[in-house]
Amino acid sequence: MIGLIIFGICLLALAGTIWYFYWKIKRFARQNLGVDNLSEFAASQEELMANTPKSVSGMTSLYLPRLQADFPELNWVEFRSAAEKHLLEHLNSQPVTSPHIHQTELRDYRKNSGTCYTIFQSAVEYYKEDKKIQSRFNTVMAYIQDAAKTGYEESYSVNCPNCGAPVTQLGHKICAYCGSAIAEVNMRIWTLDRIEEL
């Protein structure tokens, strides 16, 4: 009988402790977070994340002077708009709706083996299956200065880079002999290299 009473007292003490901590957490949530329970707080945080644009790694103030020193004729606003246009075209080809770019900054500018690269980072909002998503994308633009250093110099010949067969007409994108893609390489203009979601 004494064991049963001790067990009952322990059970009541445990229930009281649980109730005390539940009440403290609920009070903390109401006073500090403005919600009645933590699940409401988690839901509000998820909604906040869906409506808050991602931050971008903007190094425009560092790299733009270097870029403009190398390309004094470059119009920065038009260049950034061209990168954003490529990004929107990419997003519109994906299974997403209503893409919107919040901000675009120059993240990096580098020169490597006859080619210059600029990396734009954009904060983007889009909907996927009726869920709003905030994300970041890198848009990489390339400018080939010296084809001999890049290895693209052979791509200007009238031969397929895969099998060596002659390309008989300008504008052909596929080799008539082996079926390999023939990529055009644009010299001395900024072209899209790749787009990556971070």
Q: How is residue 135 written in tokens?
A: 């994300």
Query: What percentage of the chain has pLDDT greater than the value 90?
Result: 29
Q: Answer whether residue 109 shows pLDDT above 80.
A: yes
Reported as a single tens digit per residue, the pLDDT across 145-181 is 655 544 444 444 456 666 767 655 544 567 777 777 6
**What pTM does this model have?**
0.59
Model pLDDT, residue 154: 42
**CB atoms near residue 141 (< 10 Å):** 20
- Token pair 């403009």 is found at 68
Residues 192 and 59: their CA atoms lie apart, in Å, by 20
Q: How is residue 24 written in tokens?
A: 């403290």
Q: Answer whether residue 186 shows pLDDT above 70.
A: no
Whether 14 contacts 6, CB under 8 Å: no
Going across the sheet that includes 97-112, the strands are 97-112, 115-128, 131-144, 191-197
Look at residues 62, 184, 67 and name the one whose alpha carbon lies nearest to residue 118.
67
Whether 52 contacts 102, CB under 8 Å: no
The residue among 65 and 22 whose pLDDT is bigger is 65
**Between vectors from CA 160 to CA 154 and to CA 165, what angle results, nearest 5°?**
120
Sorting pLDDT into bands at 50, 70 and 90, what band is 85?
Answer: very high
